[in-house]
Chain A
Amino acid sequence: MSDSNDGIVLTEEQKRRRRARSIAIAVSLGVIVVLFYLVTLVKGPAVLNRPL
């Protein structure tokens, strides 16, 4: 089994940027969830029952 120090060790800057990217992804996913929720409210229960 290899020593844990053999792996990639992120610098503080890399950790900071990875955290910023993760937060951005989380916010984007949250926006999509809210968007689908709002559109479902606006369109009503027939949102998926419509002709293509």
Chain B
Amino acid sequence: MSLISEGALSKPLPSLAEPSLAGVEDYLALLKPRVMSLVVFTALVGLLVAPGHVHPVIGFTALLCIAIGAGASGALNMWYDADIDAIMTRTLRRPIPAGRVQPGEALAFGATLAVGSVLVLGVLVNWFAAALLAFTIAFYVFVYTMWLKRSTPQNIVIGGAAGAFPPMIGWAAVTGDVSLAPFLMFLIIFLWTPPHFWALSLLRCDDYARAGVPMLPVVSGLDETRKQILIYTLILAPVGITPSLFGFAGLIYGAIAAICGAAMLYLAWRVYRDREGEVAASAARKLFAFSLLYVFVLFAALLADNLLARLGFGFGLAP
């Protein structure tokens, strides 16, 4: 008895894929380095403000794994969304739609990094943080990318949770658990995500419509999106101050968060008010740009406030 039938031998061998032209920079692009920078920074803050001591090598390992896990999510997202990326102007030049990386290569790259980052984090740091990272990657890939993104205008509201987990993972890398403080950091990013992405989607509405992505402005219109941006910013601004109110940060953080929250609210109001022509586009651009600054400034202030408190220069509200 033969393991290979004669019929099978007569069939032509499958053609080999074209030799890859992908450069190292294409694989780095699959990791979405700009998104990764926000993830690494917020995770670093979560790691440094957590109570207790972590050895620098262990802390670096945790950050590296979180960064690689976030990059893996980006690569898997680009693999799954290659069809709509090829339609949208903003994403047209990404490695897969541009033809420099084959979809299978991106899938293998992303899956390998996803599994590797979780395992290394578990073995070298702790398994609770690794479980959180695994959940984050799975949430981003399966819940956001594969399910919500193409099915509901609430896609980035719920999917935003994936981007909000990194400070919690950083905290868990030190303490082995999570508490109210990392939850507040999670909440700030979670509530920041909708106004941030909807400001962008106001500017790229046609792109999303052409690709069939049901972003809020495509489904409910520009005015409804402006209203939702204002509502979420109204919630975000006070939530940004909560670390001070609950005693996890001092007055310095509270003051900076209040000022930044007021500025973000003003820009969201401008988006709500200015609805026609270049003035409207300018308002959306300003809100989008400031929202990036907002989250970086808040987390930098949280870190600075915490470091000052540890050095004995804190101005805390807590007893």
Binary B-proximity of A35-50 (CB < 8 A = 1, otherwise 0)? 1101100110000000
CA gap between A13 and B100 in the complex, in Å: 13
Within A3-48, the residues touching B (CB, 8 Å) are 8, 10, 13-14, 17-18, 20-21, 23-24, 32, 35-36, 38-39, 42-43
Chain A interface mostly: helix
Q: How many A-B residue pairs have CB under 8 A?
A: 39
Q: Is the CB of B20 within 8 A of A14?
A: yes
Interface: B23 (CB within 8 A): yes
Interface size on A, residues (CB 8 A): 18
Q: Is the CB of A39 within 8 A of B127?
A: no
Q: In the assembled complex, which residues on chain B have CB atoms less than 8 Å from the CB atom of A8?
A: 16, 19
Interface: B34 (CB within 8 A): no
Within B13-54, the residues touching A (CB, 8 Å) are 16, 19-24, 27
Q: Which of B57-65, B182-190, B266-274, B304-312 contacts A (4 or more CB under 8 A)?
A: B57-65
Binary A-proximity of B114-149 (CB < 8 A = 1, otherwise 0)? 000000100010010000000000000000000000
CA gap between A42 and B61 in the complex, in Å: 12
Q: Is the CB of B22 within 8 A of A17?
A: yes
Within B56-79, the residues touching A (CB, 8 Å) are 57-58, 61, 64
Q: Is the CB of B21 within 8 A of A35?
A: no
- Chain B residue with the shortest CB-CB distance to A11: B19
A42-B57, A42-B58 are known contacts. Are A24 and B64 too (CB-CB below 8 A)?
A: no
Interface: A52 (CB within 8 A): yes
Interface: B11 (CB within 8 A): no
Q: Is the CB of A38 within 8 A of B57?
A: yes
CA gap between A43 and B55 in the complex, in Å: 9
* Contact surface of B with A, Cβ cutoff 8 Å: 16, 19-24, 27, 55, 57-58, 61, 64, 120, 124, 127
